[in-house]
Amino acid sequence: MDLNPTNPTASIFGGGSSAASQTAATAQANSALSSDFETFLKMLTAQMENQDPLNPVDSTEFASQLAQFSSVEQQVRTNDLLSVMGQQLGIMGMGQLQGWVGMTARAEMPVAFEGAPVGVTLNPAAGADLARLVVRDARGGIVAQQDVPPGGGAFTWNGRTETGNTLPAGTYDLSVDSFQGEELLGTSAVESQARIVEARLDGGTTVLVMEGGALVPASRVLGLRNPDGA
């Protein structure tokens, strides 16, 4: 399965306009640096012309001033270049992910429950002899708990409470508490699947918007498949 689109900078993500603006910003910064450097040279020349001939300034001091300014100039230029490169790579990465939109992704993320059972993957700690599924609502409150196989693997969550009542439709955070005897070995997130509806750039990180509203960094996706199962 080819995950890379043929046009990684498609216009739906606005890559072209962003690249142009970054190029213009870099050109403006370089122009400002050039102007500052010329000003420095004029001041240095004036200083040399007006120095006391009986007590001239050591030439090494002039060389040192010139070297320091040149070093700062090169550092600023390097920072500008790295900034543009980083933004371009982020745009390219997001453009490549446009091919993921519409696909079903598997990741550790909240589960969108709409009344029907939901398939998830459990990952209890090694050595656990008891595992308990803990369900929290959007406010972080525990709304359901149930024992699950300590060996983990595929599991169907029915969305019910201990009393058998079905939880209202919404987004729930599922985790597994692993025990050995009465000792808590740890808590692990549950993997679930959802369709990707959007890819966006948020603070330099490519984030996927899942059906149901969950936001998942692209780096956390563990698997992909076509919605038709192919």
Cβ neighbours of residue 224 closer than 8 Å, sequence gap 6 or more: 1, 3, 100, 103, 104, 105, 106
- Cβ–Cβ < 8 Å for 184, 177: yes
CA distance 43 to 39: 6
| Number of domains, the chain | 3
Each residue's pLDDT tens digit, 36-55: 666 766 776 777 677 766 66
Give the Cβ contact number of residue 226 at 10 Å.
10
pLDDT score of 27 more than 60: no
Which domain, by its residues, includes 199?
A: 194-225
Residue 94 lies in a domain: yes
pLDDT score of 205 more than 70: yes
CA distance 99 to 13: 12
pLDDT for residue 37: 61
Amino acid at residue number 161? T
Rg of the Cα atoms in the chain = 29
- Output the domain CATH number for residue 183: 2.60.40.4070
Residue 3 lies in a domain: no
Residue 44 lies in a domain: yes
